[in-house]
Amino acid sequence: MSGGIPKVTVILPVYNGEDFVAEAVRSILEQSFSDFELLVIDDGSTDNSLDIIRSFDDSRIRLHVNEHNLRLIATLNRGIGLAQGEYIARMDADDISCSDRLEKQLNYLDENTDVYVAGAQVRYIDASGAAIHDRLAPTYPLHPDVFRWRIWFGCCIAHPTVVARRKFFEIAGFYNKDYCHCEDYELWLRSAHSLPIINLPDVLYSTRIHGHNVSVVHHDQQRHNSNLAVASAMFRSYKLAVEPRHVALLQGMTTEISSQEIGKVDNKDVYSTIALLNNLYDAVAQTVGAEASLAQIKMDYTERLWRLGILGLRRRKVAGIKALLQALKVAPIHASALFGKKIWDKVRVPHSATL
């Protein structure tokens, strides 16, 4: 660390993480970039996590122990307050960072001073650390304009891969305690409209999949709070008044939709969701400067519009026909290709990001 002040603080919250925390800590200590502090915050662990952390003899580790279990959001905010680095990075206690992760992300941010946050692509591993080949990780958007579009359909940056400028939190604020289990998603929704966020194309992080992942254990609450966060952010960013149930339907086009769920969709909801997608596209498109990004957004919009149209047809809704005709008008070549693939048999967006 130059002059005693590290260039980057890596925040690693731990709560009963004895199974994997040693691997997580080691993956940071073995980074090719060495000017960092690893701020480990134990949030009242009752297992052997503290002993494991203390077994590492490295001056770059700074251990803070919460007086009691504050839970994740308060712990993250405390970490931001304690961080000394010019940049602030995240790390989870059950995952593994590639050895060149910090080097690549910091090089990018140093060279692109207009970007505030840089994430990375991930791969999935199981509890033993072996790659999971039958579950593909999402492809996260690389350009800020595309990010601003994709963020409305699900969290399109892996939280523990993030490296952010300290100034980002000074402008955007900290994590909001009202959005439990989707606090990161709410932060990106709140900030992406004005503060550029990107993902590097490199796979720099291994996300461990096990039975205790938040997206599994707290799925319903996470989805509920996410819908509220999206609705709030749409109004704040574009003055679009949105019902959370329409957000759920809009984002449902990025996941499996069962026949039972389709049966619950009424005509007004189909119309309202298509109108929401159209208004959202118009609002975002006006802010896009790069032609390549606009073309990518238009293709994605067309595909989502097409899928909503198919949903309408499956419900025998006139709105479905109108949506399909509009998709053909907006991007005739891409929409025709979707028609040729019989896209209605797959109500799923393969490249979409999940929470």
Tell me the per-residue pLDDT of 182-228, one tens digit each, with 9 for 90 and over.
999 999 999 999 999 999 999 999 999 987 666 566 778 888 899 99
0.75 exceeded by pTM:
yes
Q: How many CB atoms lie within 10 A of CB 305?
A: 25
Q: pLDDT at residue 325 above 90?
A: no
Please state, in angstroms and rounded to a whole number, the distance separating the CA atoms of residues 151 and 131.
Answer: 27
Tell me the per-residue pLDDT of 39-87, one tens digit each, with 9 for 90 and over.
999 999 999 999 999 999 999 999 999 999 999 999 999 999 999 999 9
By mean pLDDT, which of 40-44, 144-148, 316-320, 343-347 is the weakest? 343-347
Q: Which domains does the chain have, with CATH numbers?
A: 2-217 (3.90.550.10), 240-345 (no CATH)
Tell me the per-residue pLDDT of 259-311, one tens digit each, with 9 for 90 and over.
445 556 666 777 788 889 999 999 999 999 889 999 999 989 988 887 777 76
* Cα dihedral: 321, 326, 328, 334 (round 10): -110
The token pair at 75 is 């712990």
Which residues have C-beta within 8 Å of that of residue 287, sequence separation ≥ 6?
Answer: 145, 148
Q: pLDDT at residue 347 above 50?
A: no
